[in-house]
A and B are shown apart, each in its own frame.
Chain A
Amino acid sequence: MMSEFGIPTRATGAVGAPPDPMPGDRVVRVEHIMGTAIRIELADGYGREELISDVFAWFREVDARFSLFRPDSEMSRVARGELRESDAHPDIREVIDDCEAVWVKSGGAFDIRNHRPDGLLDPTGLVKGWSVDRAGSMMLASGAADWSLNAGGDILVRGSPRTGDAWRIGIQHPRQRDAVAAVVIGTDLAVATSGNYERGEHIVDPYRAALSDDLLSVTVVGPRLALADAYATAAFSMAGQAAAWIASQPDYEGIVITASDRVILTEGMEAYLDR
């Protein structure tokens, strides 16, 4: 590949610290933050080093504020009752408010107050997606139009990976490690998946835990990753009602894969699928 000045452009490695990107170079950076891998991809990463650095700094800030693995985090203090929610950082109140809204919408299936064995308030099911939404706003505000953010398999995309193309997002096949079960395409979309690929429970269903095994994974697409993520978590605990419940959420669609290998799509989901 040659630049417009006839100088060969350097290959930008996908992972690690590459040389400075040239105009038009795709840039991918990955850091491990919030207990997961955060991946930033810019279709044109030229001149975006400061933005990338700011976005990773944002995720570290979120981790410091919300982590329940850090006893001194604000979220830990709120969870232990040492700090009132009304006195906490506005971000904490915003996340808790979002959680409460999903709690209501899901009939209690998404419950941040009663799903930990120790009973601590735990908004983890929403904070990751919420922080990615914020990161996306940072990207847009800086003028970046074509990018993807992937936080541990929960994804937000804008624009195109290449001129004229949409982003193509594979949905992890729940039984085959190296394959995808479906392909979602989009230019302005959040995609979140909740699952139980290894039968290891991570979602404690307050009502019907015994039925959770009926599903292998739930994927939700829509405008906000915070809600897509929380909806996927909530729907996964609803077993056979998952697709119906997602279908009832305006602007969000879903893919439910059952233990009997059915792939249940909400009506509007088909428009997002590459067939």
Chain B
Amino acid sequence: MSNASPSDRRLPRQRQPDPRPPGRVPRRGLAALLITLSGAALLLSFRTPSELLAGASADSFMSGPTSADIDPARSVSTAAPAATAASSGPTEPPTAAAEPPPAPQVIAGKAVRTPFGLVQVSLTIDGSGIADVKAMQLPFDRSYSARISRVVEPILRDEALQAQSADIGLISGATYTSTGYAMSLQSAIDQAQSSLKAPA
């Protein structure tokens, strides 16, 4: 079992974390973001315009400015329908984003048909960027909107729990997709528990 040292908490990143504080996207990105927001209701983070347009997925400013600042249990408040450039092309940019006013303003995205039904979201914009994203119309059941607003989104722990120290006896994983991460770990735990029991 390897151990992640405290100085090695974050996984290697493909680029440097964006230093902007969470929850804000610069105004120049609103048009692009609105387009993608109307594509589908998702739960992912906000991304910068260049990331959205390039389809990049390497990282996000949610990770914070430095690795040491990450609280793995932190919940962020923006559990919201968000962005993908999937089904709606950039040919119909919402005009509301052209002149964002200084006061908070709610902008409705266009309703988009997805394989699961119609999706429509709204943005609340204040002087510095997107303040909130809400689902107006979603394809799932009635409880969906209420529940989804309370989805929490911590960051994956990098100082990952070591299974044995956490007294875990079972591992759930997608073994048939891989070389058997989980069953390998399970067998290691079984062996460890067996050897612990043997001297009894």
Contact = CB atoms under 8 A, between A and B. Distances in A.
B170 A155 contact: yes
A260 B57 contact: yes
Interface stretch (B26-34, B93-101, B103-111, B154-162): B154-162
A178 B169 contact: no
A7 interface: no
B179 A15 contact: no
Given A168-B169, A213-B57, A258-B44, A197 B151 contact: no
B68 interface: no
Interface stretch (A32-40, A113-121, A133-141): A32-40
A173 B160 contact: yes
Interface residues of A, number: 87
Contact of B178 (A148, A178, A197): A197
Contacts of A265: 151-154
A262 interface: yes
Interface in A187-235: 191-198, 200, 202, 207-208, 211, 213-214, 217, 219
B77 interface: no
B54 to A, nearest CB: 14
A237 B152 CA distance: 21
A262 B171 contact: no
Contacts of A64: none
Interface extent on B, as a size class? 35 or more
A211 B86 contact: yes
Contacts of A9: 200
Interface string B159-183: 0111100111111111111110111
B154 A263 contact: yes
Given A247-B148, A266-B151, A15 B194 contact: yes
Contacts of B179: 198
A153 B84 CA distance: 31
B184 A179 contact: no
B2 interface: yes
Interface string B57-95: 111101100000000010000010110101000000000
Nearest to B167: A168
A110 B115 CA distance: 12
Contacts of B43: 240-244, 256, 264
A191 B153 CA distance: 20
Interface string A6-26: 000101111100000000001
B41 interface: yes
Residue from the set A176, A195, A239 with the largest chain B CB neighbour count within 10 Å: A176
A83 interface: no
Interface string B19-46: 0000000000000000000001111110
Residue from the set B81, B144, B151 with the largest chain A CB neighbour count within 10 Å: B151
Contact of A107 (B117, B168, B172): B117
Contact of B171 (A1, A169, A198, A202): A169
A175 B1 CA distance: 14
B140 A244 contact: yes
Given A107-B117, A183-B161, A262-B44, A168 B57 contact: no
Contact of B172 (A13, A154, A238, A239): A154
A247 B166 contact: no
A261 interface: yes
Nearest to B11: A175
Nearest to A268: B147
A183 B152 CA distance: 16
A233 to B, nearest CB: 9
Contacts of A257: 156
B7 interface: no
Contact of A41 (B42, B152, B169): B169
Nearest to A201: B177
A195 B151 contact: no
Given A241-B40, A261-B63, A180 B177 contact: no
6 smallest beta-carbon distances between A and B, as pairs: A240-B42, A172-B173, A179-B160, A195-B174, A248-B140, A14-B194
Interface of A: 1, 9, 11-15, 26, 28, 30, 35-37, 39, 41, 107-109, 148, 150, 152-155, 157, 161, 167-184, 191-198, 200, 202, 207-208, 211, 213-214, 217, 219, 238-245, 247-248, 256-268, 270, 274-275
Given A179-B163, A241-B40, 6 more contacts: A11-B198, A153-B172, A183-B168, A195-B178, A213-B57, A265-B153
